[in-house]
Amino acid sequence: MKIGFIGLGIMGKPMAKNLLKNGYDLTVYDLVPAAVEEVAACGAKAAACIREAAEGMDVLMTMLPNSPQVKEVMLGAEGAAQWLQPGSVLIDMSSINPVASREIAAALAEKGVEMLDAPVSGGEPKAIDGTLAFMVGGKEAIFEAHKPLLKCMGASVTRVGEIGAGNVAKLCNQVVVAVNIAAVSEALMLGQKCGVSPEAVYQAIRGGLAGSTVMDAKAPMMLSGNFAPGFRIDLHIKDLNNVLDAAKSVDAPTPLASQVMEMMKILHHDGEGSSDHSALLKFYEKLAGEEVRA
């Protein structure tokens, strides 16, 4: 199986490396030459353009920032759609608007190319160790045929429904993650303000009903003041924009997502857009006038 891979950012680069570890024939492309060179040093073929990453491939995988980038890479003037052969498959692992996924799939179908939308959750650490969670939309037969490929990069690979359903599930995931991080931040600040060590509060509640994967991933970062990006504030703003757009189109109430979105936008304007989304704690620190640390 010949695989093309476009998008070697924080997530895409380790994901591509995990495909190489599993012996796949991989050709990679990114706008940043250094990223291509790094993955090529691990055994991938380096593509100089989109055409070289797509032409003759059985599967093309994309891991890009948002809907406009995926649409441009696939359907633009130099887009991959014109180079993919009938019977090939696009697996888009980007987190984008479900409407865009369906538009791209419809355009590819006219050329005899199948598509799965397969966004992921888990951030950089799980991308590195190959334990991401994939939420997949598309035809069941196409999903089953390519599930082993996704399992090279993820511990959980779940088909949610038809095309676009994967990105619907990812939007739901991002609501839960955003609200959870905000709740953890609020709780740690409350504990400190009440004179109890926030580290002690975390250790006390993590084993109970309040405990979560999000808390265990983000509370230690907050308590150490480490906001190095695993998933940037600006990317979560992008996802919540897609949440709110999707919610508006179906008249779904999203008061919590809307509130956290406003908090993240304030952090963006404070220069924290490139910080990890655990930096939501800084919103509370700004209001309280003090830092939360272990």
Q: What is the 3-state secondary structure (H, E, C) of the chain?
A: CEEEEECCCCCHHHHHHHHHHCCCEEEEECCCHHHHHHHHCCCCEECCCHHHHHCCCCEEEECCCCHHHHHHHHHCCCCHHHCCCCCCEEEECCCCCHHHHHHHHHHHHCCCCEEEECCEECHHHHHHHCCEEEEEECCHHHHHHHHHHHHCCEEEEEEEECCCHHHHHHHHHHHHHHHHHHHHHHHHHHHHHCCCCHHHHHHHHCCCCCCCHHHHHHHHHHHHCCCCCCCEHHHHHHHHHHHHHHHHHHCCCCHHHHHHHHHHHHHHHHHHCCCEHHHHHHHHHHHHCCCCCC
Would you name the residues annotated as active-site residues? Answer: 170
Please state at what angle helix 165-193 crosses helix 98-109, rounded to 10 degrees: 160
- Beta bridge partners of residue 4, listed in sequence order: 27, 60
Counting as low any pLDDT under 50, the low residues of the chain are none
Residue pLDDT, tens place only, 106-115: 999 999 999 9
Question: What is the rounded average pLDDT for all residues in the chain?
Answer: 97
Burial category of 15 from C-beta neighbours within 10 Å (exposed 0-12, middle 13-18, buried 19 and up):
buried
233, 268 contact by CB (below 8 A): yes
CA distance 131 to 122: 8
Residue pLDDT, tens place only, 19-32: 999 999 999 999 99
Residue pLDDT, tens place only, 222-249: 999 999 998 999 999 999 999 999 999 9
CA distance 13 to 36: 9
Q: How far is CA 139 from the centre of its chain?
A: 22
Residues 248, 270, 175, 114: is their CA dihedral positive or negative?
positive
Please give the share of the chain, as a percent, with pLDDT higher than 70.
100
The answer to pTM > 0.95 is: no
